[in-house]
Amino acid sequence: MEPRFQAALRAMEELEKGAIANPDEGRMVGHYWLRDSARAPNSFLRTLIDNTLDAVCRFADDVVAGKIKPPSSPEGRFTQILSVGIGGSALGPQFVAEALAPDNPPLKIRFIDNTDPAGIDHQIAQLGPELASTLVIVISKSGGTPETRNGLLEVQKAFREAGLNFPKQGVAITQENSLLDNTARIEGWLARFPMFDWVGGRTSEMSAVGLLPAALQSIDIREMLAGAALMDEANRSTVIRNNPAALLALCWYWATDGVGSKDMVILPYKDSLLLFSRYLQQLVMESLGKEFDLDGNRVNQGISVYGNKGSTDQHAYIQQLREGVHNFFVTFIEVLRDRPPGHDWELEPGVTCGDYLFGMLQGTRSALYANNRESITVTVQEVTPRSVGALIALYERAVGIYASLVNINAYHQPGVEAGKKAAGEVLALQKRVLAVLNEASCKDPVEPLTLEVVADRCHAPEDIEMIYKIIAHMAANDRALIAEGNCGSPRSIKVFLGECNLDELYA
């Protein structure tokens, strides 16, 4: 393995120097430069990184200090953050907020990270009158991500209905000259911050994507960057036993036979790290879950990731981990510091609440070992911005090294793009279904249609199951009427629209 590891470490070194590490997209991969701009391959990028960090800090300081105020309350200040983004634009900020935000942050944060109408309504309703003092951060590299666009449109609607001026409370984090960037500039949004094409969503926490929300919650982002930089430096060692990320990648390779044969179970024994497993799901699975290797061979690589928190896991799935199918390896995240100094007390002589948590971790680890269930333990002194930055950097580098070991591209996501394309095709089919139903509903008398007839008139008989799904969804939301039958028996139904749309009929 030593030669393969040395080759992987050389590949990481070339990546940091600006080599095209994402050949499919012809892009550099530069998230490591975000915490040490001196390593960026040219002065332009170094200046861009430094200026963005300074701008984030200034803006956050001014908002927290009340120098930048919501327009509807000139004597007040911003009290809430509503972050609109999905995937890497949400998972990192969510993890960091849960891990590091103080008990009473100057701005509390909420997330719209999906296109679920009920979820969006819930977040907006929870803000209530504080919508007037909410800073809305919209995060999308292209500005065209459907879920983020939908969330933005829903939030803007809420602002209109409340009589509020959205642009004066809106912040865009996006690529320069993207659709979102141009919209924010033309409409005069409060601020705009850049995303870079050489930083992928799943490795964007150390960019404005993660740093701005964190800074607005009074999280020390420079300490987080410092922790990541320290870990990066340790991970540059060519001596494997002295390189934390290489050791972690080696453990993964050994546990999964280098082919993803076992799942990665993440168990942080600290409530504040609960979302670490969700963050790692994207980082690991989107990076390593690949059909083809760099030579074009079909390999179907990947490592599945799931997790909970200790000691909740004692009451959830440890039973299966110890005695069930052996298709996993565990990673315990151990935090030594229980509470801030001077705040601990003994529940009984010689035993604190944290001692019980410690005992659960060590006991679970021993019980798994006794039954030949392998585990890794990652230990940190306490949960601080520096240690969280280091954890993020550790796993980012381990993913890159492991990808090199198994000869795959860790920095693209063709499967995600395929899913987006398929979703677009479903919506295009829905428009055809609506047109067919509208034409039938404009007849006198109305012509209820069977699924077979709808599929035939859409010229898509092979898509009849999807047409059924579309119609069932429309009927459940009062956008189509079932004249006969029921959706539990698809062949029995006849469907039409509630009203005729003449504009659509003659469009």
17 is known as an active-site residue: no
Q: Which of 2, 75, 315, 462 is catalytic?
A: 315
473 labelled catalytic: no
* CA-to-CA separations, 357 to 321, 322, 383, 429, in angstroms, rounded: 19, 19, 15, 53
Residues 276 and 493: their CA atoms lie apart, in Å, by 46
Backbone angles phi, psi at 253, to 5 degrees: -65, -45
Q: Mind giving me the DSSP string for 79-106?
A: -EEEEE--GGGTHHHHHHHHHH--SS-S
CA–CA separation, 279 and 87 (whole Å): 9
Integer Cα distance of 55 and 167 in angstroms: 19
The Cα 122–Cα 229 span in angstroms is 38
Phi/psi of residue 105, each to 5°? Answer: -70, 155
Out of 108, 168, 262, 420, the active site residue is 420
Which of 147, 154, 205, 286 is the catalytic position? Answer: 286
DSSP state of 136: E
Q: Alpha helices, DSSP H only, in 140-220?
A: 146-161, 179-187, 208-216
Nearest alpha-carbon partner for 219 in 133, 136, 105: 105
CA-nearest of 358, 357, 362, 267 to 308 is: 267
| Count of all residues that appear for the chain in the document | 507
Pairing of strands 328-335, 375-380: parallel
> E-assigned strands of 294-327?
305-307
Q: Identify each DSSP E strand in 381-486 by its residue range.
A: 449-450, 481-484
Question: Does the annotation count 420 as an active-site position?
Answer: yes
Would you please indicate which residues are annotated as catalytic (active-site) residues? 286, 315, 420
